[in-house]
Amino acid sequence: MTNPTFPDPISPDAFTEPNENPEYKLWDSDTGVLHAETRRTLLQLLRGPYISAGRHSNLWARILVDEKIIRSRLADLYLVLVVDHEREVAFIRNVDDDAAPRVVRATKLTHIQSVLLLHLRQRLMQDSNQSRAIIDEAETVEQLSVFQGVGGSDPALFEKRVRAAWTRFEKLGILYETSTPGRYEISPVLAVIFGPEEIRAIRREYERIREAHLPLDDDDEHEEDDA
């Protein structure tokens, strides 16, 4: 667990009183009532994919102090704040209400991305007693090569698509480089976003594909509303 320096919390009166605090007023016509760091925290949550203590220590500290206010502001946008204090990560989801608009959009995983995701999450769980889960890209590609025969996939094409999936997860913040070339850290957010239920659903889908001998060569990416 990290030990962030906690900022001063925002007064509850900030919701009802005009902004007369010079510290909170960022420009001449600023009518906002939130501290600058709280605004930056909201912005990062909206930009995504998540906030973590390890990568955003100041913003994580602000979540711990102003969580109630941040939750309220996000609720105004039909969003829910998800905070995992054990893994020290936070992100947003759509409100679980069919009548509410879908704000956050999700990317549908391709078959190969699903295989890689299962592998990464398994490694994350195996290294749960460690402070960081580190994985080697080349070793991972080699380990996943056992799946290349499913559906008659070409080995070179399969490797190319595994590496493309790897790059995709880098962009999503699931993987990020360490100081050692080729070595990456698996973000703890993976265990929160994809819980046991989601992982079981992915495994069932993969088993269906494998049993039906369907090709794992769908490299198209589609965006859909987050459920």
Do 118 and 206 lie in one domain? The reply is yes
Report d(CA 28, CA 18) in Å as an integer: 14
Report pLDDT for 224.
46
Do 97 and 21 lie in one domain? The reply is yes
Please provide residue 84's backbone torsions phi and psi, each rounded to the nearest 5 degrees: -110, 105
Confirm if 119 and 147 have CB atoms less than 8 A apart: no
Tell me: pLDDT of 54 over 60: yes
Domain total of the chain: 2
Q: Exposed, middle or buried by CB within 10 Å (0-12, 13-18, 19+), for 1?
A: exposed
Which residues fall within 8 angstroms of residue 204, CB to CB, at 6 or more apart? none
Mean pLDDT confidence for 23-48: 88
Do 127 and 217 lie in one domain? The reply is yes
Classify the phi-psi angles of 218: left when phi > 0, otherwise alpha if psi is within -120 to 50, otherwise beta: beta
Angle at the Cα of 100 from the Cα atoms of 96 and 104, rounded to 5 degrees: 70
Range of lowest pLDDT (34-48, 69-83, 122-136)? 122-136
Q: Which residues pair with 89 in a beta bridge?
A: 52, 84
Tell me: pLDDT of 168 over 70: yes
Please write the tens of the pLDDT for every residue from 115-152: 898 889 888 888 767 778 999 999 999 888 877 665 45
Q: Is residue 1 part of a domain?
A: no
Do 111 and 220 lie in one domain? The reply is yes
Do 85 and 126 lie in one domain? The reply is no
- Locate 51 and state its tokens: 């906030």
Q: Is 186 helix (H, G, I), strand (E, B) or coil?
A: strand
> Residue 174 maps to which CATH number?
1.10.10
Do 138 and 52 lie in one domain? The reply is no
Do 118 and 213 lie in one domain? The reply is yes
Q: Give the residue numbers spanning the domain of 62.
A: 12-101
Do 214 and 141 lie in one domain? The reply is yes
